[in-house]
Amino acid sequence: MAPCRLRWLVLLPLVVGAAVAERHYLFTAPKVSYAGESETMCLTLFDVPETGDLTLDFSGSGDRRTLHTQSVAGVSGRPYADRLDGSSPGDQPEQLFVQTDKFVYKPGQLVRFRVFSVDSELRPVTKPIPLIFIQTPLGTRVAQWTDQSGRSGLVQLEFQLSDEPTLGDWTIHVSGVTSNVHKKVFRVKEYVLPKFEVKVQGPPFILADETEVIFKVCGM
């Protein structure tokens, strides 16, 4: 699970300057790093008998801006560890949550759902949600809401199913303030609640002075 202090998603490709191409290295780091958080990475060099200098450049996967540069002098094949401290430019991505009142609906029923978003500090995001729409299993958009806002960041909406809707998995799409997208799936199908029968067996008659009567109850 991602840490709650989510600020900026960054991928860390590694650029290593080395004098000889045949030399190898092993670089280990978290798959995803969050700006504003400290991460521990380890670089191990192989087949480097002499001492040399090393430069590491970390850049984002989008605009390729350099986020961090680390120079190391006197590398001689030993493991090297460094802590990277990032900064958080721009908007912080929010976490979106979509909840329906149930998972399976029958044709003609009312679908009630709510959308809630929090920022990196788990505080409600009160800005309007740019786009919410519902899509059928065939990919048809049947309902849409724009710039929805609610009390304390909670948006509650509903959608009426027709009497003969497309059966299958429907999807609620929510686009957040920082272009974060969340999807919630609910199912529409014909179903009948299971039926059961209860049989009660007792004596043919009960005397007035009886203090205990035995009955047999069977569910099927």
Q: Where are the domains of the chain?
A: 9-85, 95-188
- Cβ proximity of 175 and 129 under 8 Å: yes
What pLDDT does residue 32 have?
Answer: 65
Q: For the chain, what percent of residues have pLDDT higher than 70? A: 63
Predicted TM-score (pTM) of this structure: 0.51
Residue 77, Ramachandran bin (φ over 0: left; ψ between -120 and 50: alpha; else beta) = left
pLDDT band at 7 (very low <50, low <70, confident <90, very high): very low
Structure tokens at 38: 């400290």
The pair phi, psi for residue 98, each rounded to 5°, is: -125, 130
**Pick among 2.60.40.1930, 1.10.599.10, 3.20.20.70, 2.40.30.10: CATH of 95-188:** 2.60.40.1930
Q: For residue 136, how many other CB atoms are within 10 A of its CB?
A: 17
The CATH number given to 9-85 is 2.60.40.1930
Task: Say yes or no: do domains 9-85 and 95-188 share a fold.
Answer: yes
Q: What is d(CA 208, CA 213) in angstroms, rounded to the nearest whole number?
A: 11
Q: What is d(CA 12, CA 62) in angstroms, rounded to the nearest whole number?
A: 11
pLDDT band at 12 (very low <50, low <70, confident <90, very high): very low
Question: What integer best gives the mean pLDDT of the chain?
Answer: 75
Most confident of 19-28, 161-170, 184-193, 198-207: 161-170
Q: Answer yes or no: is pLDDT of 134 > 90.
A: yes
